[in-house]
Amino acid sequence: MKIFKDKKTLIKEIFNKKNIAFVPTMGSIHQGHLSLIKRAKKESKNVLVSIYVNPKQFNTSSDFKKYPRSESKDIALLRRANIKYLYLPNNNDIYSFRPKSRIYLDKFSKKLCGKFRPKHFKGVLNVINRFIEIIKPHSIFLGLKDFQQLNLIRLHLLKNKITTKIISCPTIRERNGFALSSRNKKLKNKQIKVAGKIYKYLKNLKQNVISTNLKERQLNAISKISLFGVKNIDYLEFINIKTLKPAKSIRENYNIFIAYHLGKIRVIDNL
């Protein structure tokens, strides 16, 4: 595994590589990340992983500072995963140039997490846009747990006619169904059990076709989840995954999207 800490040496190394498979991360590598890498390795022998905690996608400096970091452990895990390239840029490396493509922020960015984290998606698109310009990957591998983020990146690429291909990969979960995330490391076992209950409840709710009124389902679900001990639910919505608009019927192809708080940790999921 070759490690690069500045874009000039990285670009020199990969300049003639036409099939870079790119997996962007913010570190604290877990099985979800490793599943993306495994999928990327099926596409190309030239897998490039980045670790960069992007300050522009955090709404507060305190949240940025609290984000879990474990660079030495991450490097060891990535060596075992046998990737070809690891990029560890600093802020200046990423933000010291003006990218050719302008950020396109679709109106979908104002829904779901966008209502509660107004700076987040602009920050995500900013850094991904810059990574793509530096690396020029053939494909980028993103998890469906972050469905809203994935689709906003897809729409940005389409708008700017960027040819990098998005490969969407399944959400990887704990045994109890809780979606893996770097922030999970800060949760207590009791909180992880609550998250598992919420996943199982929502999974059963989606499979239950007895009640066809989605608004009624939504209100009942919020009440039920509150009984599990969750005091703060940012949203629980039924979104058509093709139109990206609220579903009106259970016959639509929709996912249940949720964001809630376990203590100080914000959890998102969709299923």
User: Is 30 one of the catalytic residues?
Assistant: no
The residues facing 257 across adjacent strands are 237, 270
Spatial contact of 110 and 25, defined as CB atoms under 8 Å apart: no
Q: Which long-range contacts (CB under 8 A, 24 or more apart) does 91-100 make?
A: 91/55, 93/5, 93/6, 93/7, 94/52, 94/54, 94/127, 94/130, 94/131, 95/130, 97/130, 99/129, 99/130, 99/133, 100/133
Cα–Cα distance measured from residue 161 to residue 20, given in angstroms and rounded to the nearest whole number: 18
| Candidate list 33, 120, 138, 156, residue with the active-site label | 33
Does the CA dihedral 63-257-111-32 come out positive or negative? positive
Name the residues annotated as catalytic. 33
